[in-house]
Every structure is written in C-alpha cells, then in structure tokens.
Amino acid sequence: MIAVDWGTSSLRLYRLDAAGMVLERRRSDEGVLASAGRFGDVLARGIAGWDDPVVLLCGMVGGRGGWQEVPYLDCPAGIAELADGMQQIQPRGFDGRALWIMPGLRDAAGDGMPDVMRGEETQLAALLDALVVGSHLVCLPGTHSKWVNVRNGCIQRIATAMTGEVYAVLRKHSILGRLMPAEDGRFDAFAFEAGLHRSGEEGGLLHHLFGVRTAGLFRQVAEPALPSYLSGLLIGHELRGCGVFTQRPRPAQVHLVGNDRLLGAYAHALTALGIGVQRHPEDLAAHGLHALWTRRTAAVAA
C-alpha cells in the first residue's frame, strides 16, 4: 500500500509492505497550498512507478481548500472510529487503485471554542495501541502545536497553541526581528531558559514580548541569542497555558512527536520544568495509516 501525508506545505509519500515496513519514501514541497487545483497530477507524479492498489491520504488534503473535504469526527475517538471515518474518493486517472482520505478530529466539548486537528490524528493512530491503558498527554509541536489527552486508547481532548506561527511572524515581521540576526543560528540554552523562566512571571505574554526588545536594547541577552530567548518565552507560555500545567493531576511525563530540532527545544523546556519526556519519531503518519487500514480491512472481513 501507499501512505501519503499531505500537509499544508509538504507532501510525504511512503511505500509500505503488508507488515507496514517502509520500503521507499519520497518527499516534496508540493503541499496542499502549492497543489491546489491539480491534486491528481501531483499525486500521480508522486507515486509514479509504485503500482500498489491502495492509496491512503491524511492531512490538510482532506480539509477545506484541500482535494476533497472529509468532515471532522468528534472526540472521543480511537482507532476504530478513525478507521471507520475514512472516505473513498474516485478522481479520474487512478483506475485500478482505491484512494482513501482520513477524517480530521474535532474537540467540541472544549473550553468555549472547538479545537481541531487534521493529520496529527493519523500520527497518533500509530501510538494509540501503546497507550491503551490509563491517561497520557501527547504533544506534537510545530507551527500549530497540538496537545492531546489520550485515555484508554481514545483521543479525548485537543488543545492547539499557535506557538510556531507566532514565533515566525514576530521573527520576520515585527520590531523584535529587527534586533536579531537574519538566521536563527545556534540554540542558546542559557537564553532559552531565561525566556522560559520569564514566561512564569507576572505581566502576560504581550508584556513579556516587549521585554525581548528591552533585553536586546540593554544587552541583557546578546543579539545572536535573542531568537532562543523568544523561543523559550513562547514555549514557556504554551506549556503553562495549554500544556502540562492545566492537567490535574500534573502528568509525570509527556509523549513528544516531531522532528529532532523541535523536540530538542520542547524536551529541554519540559525537563527544566521537572516533567519527563518520551520521544517518538516524526514520520508516524505512515505507520498510523497502516494501522488504520489494517483495522478497517479486519473489521470489514469480520
């Protein structure tokens, strides 16, 4: 089978054997935004030479503005609900293949505003088998960081923080970026921890952000270290606001899913705050799609 993780800005394709082992992988920048209006062509080129009959897709490809919108499922949802929610599409040019798109997940029971994910639920599907017993907190850091409560193998709650995007727009378009070097450079652990510590003080994020400027003006943080200070400040606010600190009881550890660089920063922050971490690799989506397909075909067979 072929597993496709098609997000807003990137496209990852995997060819899997029956046991879910990755045989080949491909990657391009032809994410959903870049592929609008020609999804079929992009996919056909992406899987050229792979003759597997089943193609499973997850991510923003199933969102509004994607290839075909697949409605959100509501939490709580586990492997069974996700497998059952996938929808077959029949675009032209794919005769002899079965194409399926995963649903996203919505947490409507939330704290005043619904929260959603699309793509991360499939990464989580690869972990759910291991999280069948008890309560677990999973964090998938990124442009929009996802915090997910898993209980007895079901995704219960979703909370998203716009940490990565806020970092990027402030870095690139605000007065804070003007004090910083053009590129992020080396991670500065001391400045990162200073930002993390600052996030726990009075004043709120909007005030603390101005402190990034005065930290630079008065040389309390050296200019090359300002990006790390800003990163620590934002991640600190994320953790204190919607992460581990709102959990009762406070969890002893957090499962982290993502790329090494991001996970390094989050692991650093959590460890500094006395929380344990368990890291998982970024490309869980292929394994999740395999698990969901296995579940679906087993259910149909039964």
In the complex, which residues of this chain contact its own copies (CB under 8 A)? 64, 111-116, 144-145, 159-163, 165-166, 169-170, 172-175, 198, 201-211, 214-215, 217-218, 220, 234, 237-238, 240-242, 246
> Minimum distance between the CB of residue 77 and its own copies, rounded to whole angstroms?
17
> Minimum distance between the CB of residue 151 and its own copies, rounded to whole angstroms?
19
User: Which CB sits closer to its own copies, 122 or 145?
Assistant: 145
User: Which CB sits closer to its own copies, 174 or 297?
Assistant: 174
Place of tokens 């219960």: 156
Give the C-alpha separation, 193 to 188, whole Å. 9
> Minimum distance between the CB of residue 33 and its own copies, rounded to whole angstroms?
11
User: Which CB sits closer to its own copies, 190 or 210?
Assistant: 210
What Cα–Cα distance (Å) separates residue 292 from each residue in 6, 56, 60, 67? 17, 10, 18, 20
**3-class DSSP assignment, residue 226:** helix
User: Which CB sits closer to its own copies, 209 or 263?
Assistant: 209
User: Which CB sits closer to its own copies, 126 or 269?
Assistant: 269
Give the C-alpha separation, 37 to 26, whole Å. 21
User: Which CB sits closer to its own copies, 58 or 242?
Assistant: 242
> Minimum distance between the CB of residue 244 and its own copies, rounded to whole angstroms?
12
**3-class DSSP assignment, residue 158:** strand
Give the C-alpha separation, 65 to 275, whole Å. 38
Extract the tokens encoding 137: 């907190």
Most distant CA atoms of the chain, gap in Å:
69
> Minimum distance between the CB of residue 145 and its own copies, rounded to whole angstroms?
8
Give the C-alpha separation, 237 to 254, whole Å. 16
Closest CA to 259 of 289, 288, 285: 285
All residues at 6 or more sequence positions from 251 whose CB lies less than 8 Å from its CB, including other chains: 135, 136, 137, 244, 275
> Minimum distance between the CB of residue 166 and its own copies, rounded to whole angstroms?
6
> Minimum distance between the CB of residue 222 and its own copies, rounded to whole angstroms?
15
User: Which CB sits closer to its own copies, 16 or 149?
Assistant: 149
What Cα–Cα distance (Å) separates residue 14 from each residue in 20, 54, 191? 10, 12, 39
